[in-house]
Structure 1
Amino acid sequence: MAHDHKVLDALDAAKTQWYHFTAVIIAGMGFFTDAYDLFSISLVTKLLGRIYYFNPSSKTPGSLPPNVSAAVNGVAFCGTLAGQLFFGWLGDKMGRKKVYGMTLMLMVICCLASGLSFGSSPKGVMATLCFFRFWLGFGIGGDYPLSATIMSEYANKRTRGAFIAAVFAMQGFGNLTGGIVAIIISATFKARFDAPAYKDDPAGSTVPAADYAWRVVLMFGAIPALLTYYWRMKMPETARYTALVAKNAKKATSDMARVLNVELTEEQKKAEEELERREEYGLFSRQFAKRHGLHLLGTTVCWFMLDIAFYSQNLFQKDIYTAVNWLPKAETMNALEEMFRISRAQTLVALCGTIPGYWFTVFFIDIVGRFAIQLGGFFFMTAFMLGLAIPYHHWTTSGNHAGFVVMYAFTFFFANFGPNSTTFIVPAEIFPARLRSTCHGISSAAGKSGAIVGSFGFLYAAQSTDPAKTDAGYPPGIGVRNSLFMLAGCNVIGFLFTFLVPESKGKSLEELSGENDEEAAPGQSIQQTVPTNLSE
């Protein structure tokens, strides 16, 4: 029997209005900060190596040892995984709004602390940096389930996919901004404290001022998070949480009447009787396994496989660019010049491949559906990765950098116009309200475990098989080419598991989660009057 909770019908039927865009900005700025914080570290890791691991007797610039590089790049993902599970569960227990502010303040504090990392030795500085980045990741982790859930519960069913995708698309701007900030900082410091190339003056190729450059880049991420805090605290709790989980139909009605400019009248007693009749199965119950077990398996495996490929590409694209000779060798430039070139390369790829992919999803997801976009994304990611891997020696020896970069940008485009967006959107739609944040947290934590595999595993797997590097202390690897084959295989697995995930286009959240099938009280519990300009 369909539910009689008319405030939820009002949410589904309300036309797009100013508050929806406000919610996108408020939730999206969290993701802007998330992407900036997670990916900005890849812009400064080579600089960290040159500052803290320079060996005067060596014939090459300093670089982070593989284990230190893996820790610096991957520790935030460990924190993110823990945060997704913890805050996802807490969001279903305490409410979306209460937990939302906690995650943002944790991100602000740890962003600033990361830039203030201290120590009397290189190991001390790296250990402090890793500590603060773990807790930064913990706060970022909370943003995933909460932002997705809040946006899905505010949006109408006609444009819900586009709004959740728009929140997630702010990641692209965060990624782009990280590159732009790093370009500005490195160019400014380079102009003010210019230094010779390493080959001309090894000891002077890293100026003392470079130690400030990476700190400023990391600390900048606190600014957008801090600016968003006030508006997050002004948001009301979502009506679906208040009505279906907190079981306060009166408050849900008044909150949504104010937010959506809709006149709603409620019959409190009947609404509460309806809510009491609803079936309350838990996450580990047989009923949940029967209704949503395969769905949860599909969302977790797809997100896990996607993030192995996606984060491997993002964090180590600088190494791939060097391998195909798009970036000059480190010894031909000073530290700030190297940071400038890495940032410029990653900004170009973000501008040409990453951001367009996100916004293609925003515009098309409610037209072609989640299922088709995810399948197509996995398919084309596989195709373009094989296009990089099979003729890999052609890319590395022919000097055809432009062709390689175009192919590489297309893998990012179809990741974002594909599973990187849909794996975030679908778990916020298909699970019951009382378990929605928890299940999204589990799905996104599976993704972050894939990111950990990508950031730690790819680092070792992609190590050159060159004996000279192995003798220098680097572990032997299978090389970049074979790593690309492995990432293509991950995409194939994601493609197959997509068939376990239902299409959610054009359906209400209650219809998707099965809450429409639960027994409701007869009669009308909440009566609505929707102005004609707001009805669908």
Structure 2
Amino acid sequence: MELNASSIVKIVRAQWCHLSAIIVSGMGFFTGAYNLFCIPAVSTLLGRLHYEEAMPLLINAVVNGITLCGLFIGHLFFGWLGDRMGRRKVYGMTLGIMIASSIGSGLSIGRSRSAVIASLCFFRFWLGVGIGGDYPKSATIMAEYANTKNRGAFMAAVFSMQAIGILTGSIVAMTVSACFKAAYPERSFGLNDLVWRIILMIGAVPAGFTFYWRMKMPESAHLPTIVAQNARNAAADMSELVGSSMIEDEANTGIILRRREPYGLFSKAFLRNHGRHLVGTMLCWFFSDITFYSTGLFQKDVYRAVGWIKKLDDHADELEEVFQIAKAQALIALSGTLPGCFFGILFIDRLGRRKLQVFGFFFMAVCLIGLSFAYNYFKKHWDGFLAVYTLTFFFSMLGPNATTLIVPAESFPARMRSTCHGISAAAGKVGAIIGLIGFSYASQSSHKNSSYSYEGYFNGIGMSKAFLFLGVASCVGLLCTFLVRETNGQALEDSERDAILSEYTSGPTSGSLNDSIESNHHGAESSSIVLMEPSNFGQNL
């Protein structure tokens, strides 16, 4: 069976190649989530080992926030590089950085407090760079591999590896701490110090297993066909992916638009065609990450505040505290995060991206504002608190935490798709940093000597008001959703077609559109962009 490379991704049924692409692409999200969300347990142990009770608030914020700074840089740099060098060439770089940094995070140049914290921050910064670079690559590659009918589900499945990574990190922390506690009832400083290093370094193992297959992934058809106009390479790459022979685009009649040099990211043409969409994806990701990272990275503080996890005295077992925090995170992941991903995969292509995002933001706001106003009641009934708190993760993973990743990969032309996705993700990490710093201070009790406060922690406005601010952020994110386009059921080439037609019909020097269109059986050999009519793509299967 012969298939055309530029249309193969729209009509090919879901098959083994898609499942393997989901696993290989998703491993970056798995590794990133594992390393990001195992840090509450790790920082707790480091606080007990090096600060006698807990890390000072500023040090805790730096250890958590330095990775987010690396994410910001990785989003921008590797997002841009993916459009210049190609998706596949950059893909291995990001995973390699993550593997090396995961291993390095468990090492340090000495055993003093300053040496441990400095080396941990250094490697976690570069870990963030690798994770940040992986976001635009994984999202754009999966979008360009998937057929139009199931593209949202495939991309949501890739993103669901984040939830599996969070759960795995918690399970590993529980297992390692329980094993050391059982094997060494009386432990030295060195043995306790080894626990957090093992937890961090294990994060490199799954990524290492998929490195070979990631390097073997073929380039998607979109970049060589639409940007480089090399149909022969596109056909070869997609034949390797789906296991079917393909003909080059020049054998299929299409519409060829002979046009000026394509407009750039900072041009008036981009602002006219995609400016609103980019602002929308940036703002939605910004407000989504404020909530998600604030509640996710400071779970242990939330659990202590409502009394689910008690503050242990100085003589309590350090590993018992690590185990309890990891167990709490695992329960939240099992009951909220993973189910949210599952229902997101199920409904994203049925309801559409915008509806699901509005739905998610709305119920996140309801849950968070409810926690704020009923906080005193929930402190006495922590089981009810946990039920509502778990729902915030459920609705986040069902809606905005997934859709903010998916929509930017579907909304922009192929030649700048990775760059725009990186910019949107970077805006999200700005929100995450603001949320992390703000929540870490604001959530502290307004009363001195609170039962869940530690020495050296500043007084804040209290957990209830912090939840209220997060609820307001979700409301604003809901409103920003109406700035983004609905991409459900639309071919990725629609953004190319709309931009080109808009340029020809509105540009002052573009001339007549009819004079610029000609039918040609040798389009791939010319210097023009080949855009097939929708009727030529065939129906989605």
Q: TM-score, normalised by structure 1?
A: 0.91
- Using a 3 Å threshold, how does the CA distance of structure 1 residues 348 and 86 change in structure 2: closer, same or farther? same
Does the aligned pair in 1 maintain the 2:5–2:249 contact within 8 Å? Answer: no
The Cα of 1:9 is off from its aligned counterpart by: 2.0
The Cα of 1:15 is off from its aligned counterpart by: 1.6
Please point out which of 406, 411, 419 is paired with 1:430: 411
Residue in 2 that maps onto 1:313: 295
Listed as ranges, the matches of 1:113-512 within 5 Å are: 113-194=104-185, 207-266=189-248, 268=250, 274=256, 277=259, 280-331=262-313, 333-396=316-379, 398=380, 400-468=381-449, 472-512=455-495
- Using a 3 Å threshold, how does the CA distance of structure 1 residues 81 and 272 change in structure 2: closer, same or farther? farther
The Cα of 1:121 is off from its aligned counterpart by: 2.3
* CA deviations over 1:93-121 (Å, ceiling 9, x no partner): 00000000000111111100100123352
Secondary structure at the residue paired with 2:411?
coil
The letter of the residue matching 1:83 is G
Partners of 2:496 and 2:488 lie apart in 1 by 13
Does the aligned pair in 1 maintain the 2:288–2:474 contact within 8 Å? Answer: yes
- Kindly indicate whether residue 22 of structure 2 is the aligned counterpart of residue 24 of structure 1: yes
Does the aligned pair in 2 maintain the 1:179–1:343 contact within 8 Å? Answer: yes
Query: Which one is further off, 111-120 or 93-102?
Result: 111-120
- Kindly indicate whether residue 519 of structure 2 is the aligned counterpart of residue 522 of structure 1: yes
The Cα of 1:72 is off from its aligned counterpart by: 0.6
Give the paired residue count: 511
The letter of the residue matching 1:217 is I
Please point out which of 15, 21, 33 is paired with 2:13: 15
The letter of the residue matching 1:97 is R
Partners of 2:244 and 2:189 lie apart in 1 by 61
* CA deviations over 1:343-398 (Å, ceiling 9, x no partner): 000000000000110111111100010011000000000001112111101111x2
Partners of 1:33 and 1:471 lie apart in 2 by 31
Secondary structure at the residue paired with 1:8?
coil
Partners of 2:199 and 2:454 lie apart in 1 by 34
Partners of 2:138 and 2:258 lie apart in 1 by 28
The Cα of 1:406 is off from its aligned counterpart by: 0.7
* CA deviations over 1:58-77 (Å, ceiling 9, x no partner): xxxx2101111001111000
- Using a 3 Å threshold, how does the CA distance of structure 1 residues 380 and 273 change in structure 2: closer, same or farther? closer
Does the aligned pair in 2 maintain the 1:247–1:272 contact within 8 Å? Answer: no
Secondary structure at the residue paired with 1:442?
helix
Partners of 1:42 and 1:276 lie apart in 2 by 56
Partners of 2:127 and 2:196 lie apart in 1 by 16
The Cα of 1:461 is off from its aligned counterpart by: 1.1
Does the aligned pair in 1 maintain the 2:10–2:540 contact within 8 Å? Answer: no
Query: Which one is further off, 98-107 or 325-334?
Result: 325-334
* CA deviations over 1:78-98 (Å, ceiling 9, x no partner): 001100000000000000000
Residue in 2 that maps onto 1:57: none
Residue in 2 that maps onto 1:200: none
- Using a 3 Å threshold, how does the CA distance of structure 1 residues 226 and 276 change in structure 2: closer, same or farther? farther
Does the aligned pair in 2 maintain the 1:35–1:172 contact within 8 Å? Answer: yes
Secondary structure at the residue paired with 1:28?
helix
- Using a 3 Å threshold, how does the CA distance of structure 1 residues 534 and 222 change in structure 2: closer, same or farther? farther
Secondary structure at the residue paired with 1:289?
helix
The Cα of 1:523 is off from its aligned counterpart by: 3.8
- Using a 3 Å threshold, how does the CA distance of structure 1 residues 267 and 414 change in structure 2: closer, same or farther? closer
The Cα of 1:269 is off from its aligned counterpart by: 9.5
Secondary structure at the residue paired with 1:438?
helix
The letter of the residue matching 1:490 is A
Residue in 1 that maps onto 2:535: none
* CA deviations over 1:481-517 (Å, ceiling 9, x no partner): 1100000010011000000011111110011454575
The Cα of 1:425 is off from its aligned counterpart by: 0.2
Secondary structure at the residue paired with 2:138?
helix
Residue in 2 that maps onto 1:72: 63
The letter of the residue matching 1:389 is S
Partners of 1:229 and 1:265 lie apart in 2 by 30
Over aligned residues, Cα RMSD in angstroms? Answer: 2.4
Partners of 2:203 and 2:180 lie apart in 1 by 19
The letter of the residue matching 1:385 is L
Secondary structure at the residue paired with 2:426?
helix
Does the aligned pair in 2 maintain the 1:249–1:272 contact within 8 Å? Answer: no
Partners of 1:341 and 1:487 lie apart in 2 by 26
Secondary structure at the residue paired with 2:264?
coil
Partners of 1:271 and 1:42 lie apart in 2 by 57
The letter of the residue matching 1:448 is K
* Seq. identity, %: 50
Partners of 1:43 and 1:408 lie apart in 2 by 19
Partners of 1:467 and 1:481 lie apart in 2 by 16
Secondary structure at the residue paired with 1:330?
coil
Partners of 1:119 and 1:354 lie apart in 2 by 37
Secondary structure at the residue paired with 2:6?
helix
The letter of the residue matching 2:218 is P
Does the aligned pair in 1 maintain the 2:47–2:54 contact within 8 Å? Answer: yes
Residue in 1 that maps onto 2:37: 39
Please point out which of 93, 96, 105 is paired with 1:102: 93
The Cα of 1:53 is off from its aligned counterpart by: 0.8
Partners of 1:513 and 1:450 lie apart in 2 by 30
Partners of 1:270 and 1:276 lie apart in 2 by 17
Does the aligned pair in 2 maintain the 1:278–1:520 contact within 8 Å? Answer: no
- 5+ long unaligned stretches in structure 1: 55-61, 196-203, 528-532
Partners of 1:178 and 1:261 lie apart in 2 by 36
Does the aligned pair in 1 maintain the 2:304–2:311 contact within 8 Å? Answer: yes
- 5+ long unaligned stretches in structure 2: 502-515, 525-531, 533-537
The letter of the residue matching 1:474 is Y
Does the aligned pair in 2 maintain the 1:249–1:271 contact within 8 Å? Answer: no
Query: Which one is further off, 118-127 or 92-101?
Result: 118-127
